[in-house]
Amino acid sequence: MLAQEIIRAKRDGGALDAAQIAHFVRGLVDGSWSEGQVAALGMAVFLRGMGREEAVLLTRAMMNSGRVMRWPDMPGPVLDKHSSGGVGDKVSLMLAPLVAACGGYVPMIAGRGLGHTGGTVDKLEAIPGYTTMPAPADFDRIVRSLGCAIIGQTADLAPADKRFYATRDVTATVESVPLITASILSKKLAAGLEGLAMDVKCGNGAFCDTPQMARELAESIVAVGSGAGLKIRALITDMNEVLGSTAGNMLEIAETIAYLSGDEREPRLHEVTLALAAEMLVIGGLAADEAAARSKLQRALDSGAAAEKFAQMVAALGGPADLFERPDAHLCLAPVVRPVPAPRAGVLTGLRTRDIGLAVVELGGGRRKAADAIDMSVGFGRFRHLGDELAAGEAIAIVHAADEAAAERAIAAVQAACDFAEPGSAWTGQPIVMERVG
């Protein structure tokens, strides 16, 4: 079988069969497909699309391109959640221990920041000593004993996807729904999951910037995941403003601690967390319905059980055992902390959220290229929300920066990203959970 004939078949609009897809995925791993051939097939799929069955075949083949985790004799359901990415999205940090406190087992393999979106692994590395790449046996042991562990992707998990994505990233073929679907699900299936809750972000801070695109991706992920034998549901959630009150690695860890401790639970962040966690409990048979799941989750929060799970996970993965008792002793602070003054009085009616994410990158809190080091201390705290009325000069957010010049640039970026209506103007927002699929 020749690579060029497989490319030709897809170029001409044909559907690839199992043997052709297996040949391609094998070529990704052993190098028998050149970069040019990988790029050509990626572009052919981008332009011609893929049917559901093709996407299932590609997902399964990439899943099986490396190690596939197994969880025999687990006393509860093996569950996970995945987000398509946003600004201030720290839901995974509180959701994994929360579901574990309710009887689920969450072997969460998370990613790093990409472009303007933050990454869960980067956030966890703001905790001193926390290792995101433990030995497989340690990962297995921690998940089994505590119910959850959040780590980074290992090189032997869906290696075909890693190479394919790297090529797509530099050939303008990332924005293909079937390829995004296969990329996400191949890694999740390789983690040995029984159930998955998918969070498809929608809005000006998300990859899917329209409801139509978000719905297309959600439906694709649910259909392909179900076709591959996974119990799966998707929520489409709003990403037209920062989720929670912080954006930046250390600041988001601090907000996670405040959330789990009960000191501060920003309503939108709380709703997304509970909605996704409830889907996981229902999928896993740990609750009869959403209402029962939410009640169980709230008890796990209020009793401190979820906070205890997070603290135990941090300690088990090398972080400080007293993180909750002494967070200020362990989380690094930026040397410059400045308010972002509102340029005028009025109601905050719009926020170009992607620009806020890029401002975090400009502060040093994200990467322009893969090898870049990250300043864990920088970002934005106490971000105000759409519909809030501010006086002139009142803080829209607090910037945490490495120096005064960086702080000034960040202040200007936030001010430029905000829209204000006249004081007293009515404003009606949309619900944070926009739609459920599956």
Round to whole Å and give the CA distance between 124 and 50: 36
Taking residues 176-193, report their average pLDDT: 93
pLDDT of 97 over the 90 cut:
yes
Q: Which domains does the chain possess? A: 3-49 (1.20.970.10), 79-316 (3.40.1030.10), 332-421 (3.90.1170.30)
Residue among 84, 120, 173, 353 flagged as catalytic: 120
If we measure between CA atoms, which residue out of 263, 218, 223 comes closest to residue 236?
Answer: 218
pLDDT of residue 165: 87
424: number of Cβ within 10 Å: 9
Q: Residue 370: pLDDT band by 50, 70, 90 thresholds?
A: low
As a whole-number percent, the residues of the chain with pLDDT over 70 amount to 99
Q: Residue 63: pLDDT band by 50, 70, 90 thresholds?
A: very high
Round to whole Å and give the CA distance between 394 and 154: 45
pLDDT of residue 381: 98
Round to whole Å and give the CA distance between 388 and 242: 13
Active site residue 168: yes
pLDDT of 113 over the 80 cut:
no
Residue among 60, 81, 162, 338 flagged as catalytic: 81
Q: What is the pLDDT of residues 284-319, one digit of tens each?
A: 999 999 999 999 999 999 999 999 999 999 999 999
Active site residue 82: yes
Taking residues 410-432, report their average pLDDT: 96
Taking residues 388-408, report their average pLDDT: 98
Q: What is the pLDDT of residues 150-170, one digit of tens each?
A: 999 888 889 999 899 889 978
pLDDT of residue 386: 98
pLDDT of 265 over the 90 cut:
yes
If we measure between CA atoms, which residue out of 375, 381, 373, 366 comes closest to residue 332?
Answer: 375
Active site residue 209: no
Q: What is the pTM of this model?
A: 0.93
Would you put residue 49 in left (φ > 0), alpha (ψ -120 to 50) or beta? left
Residue among 10, 23, 60, 82 flagged as catalytic: 82
What's the Cα-to-Cα distance from 411 to each of 212, 333, 358, 363, 403, rounded to whole Å? 33, 18, 13, 11, 12
pLDDT of residue 155: 83
DSSP state for residue 105 in the 8-state scheme: B
Round to whole Å and give the CA distance between 328 and 254: 9
Q: Which of 8-12, 160-164, 280-284, 404-408 has the lowest mean pLDDT?
A: 160-164
Residue among 23, 59, 60, 80 flagged as catalytic: 80
Residue among 59, 65, 83, 154 flagged as catalytic: 83
Q: Residue 327: pLDDT band by 50, 70, 90 thresholds?
A: very high
Q: For all residues of the chain together, what is the average pLDDT?
A: 95
Active site residue 83: yes
If we measure between CA atoms, which residue out of 224, 213, 144 comes closest to residue 188?
Answer: 224
Say if residues 226 and 232 touch (Cβ distance below 8 Å).
Answer: yes
pLDDT of residue 150: 97
Residue among 168, 215, 231, 354 flagged as catalytic: 168
pLDDT of residue 116: 83
Residue among 10, 23, 163, 187 flagged as catalytic: 187
pLDDT of 353 over the 70 cut:
yes
Active site residue 17: no
pLDDT of 368 over the 90 cut:
no
The DSSP bridge partners found for residue 380 are 247, 399
Round to whole Å and give the CA distance between 123 and 6: 41
Say if residues 196 and 188 touch (Cβ distance below 8 Å).
Answer: yes
* Residue-by-residue DSSP string for 136-175: HHHHHHHHHHHSEEEEEPPTTSSHHHHHHHHHHHTTT---
Round to whole Å and give the CA distance between 204 and 239: 6
pLDDT of residue 169: 79
Q: Give me 230's structure tokens.
A: 């996974």
pLDDT of 209 over the 70 cut:
yes
Residue among 84, 176, 183, 377 flagged as catalytic: 183
Residue among 60, 112, 188, 215 flagged as catalytic: 188
The strands making up 433-437's β-sheet, listed across from edge to edge, are 79-83, 195-202, 231-238, 433-437
pLDDT of 228 over the 70 cut:
yes
Strand, helix or coil for residue 422: coil
Round to whole Å and give the CA distance between 299 and 54: 43
Q: Give me 145's structure tokens.
A: 């004993």
What's the Cα-to-Cα distance from 112 to each of 26, 156, 369, rounded to whole Å? 26, 17, 12
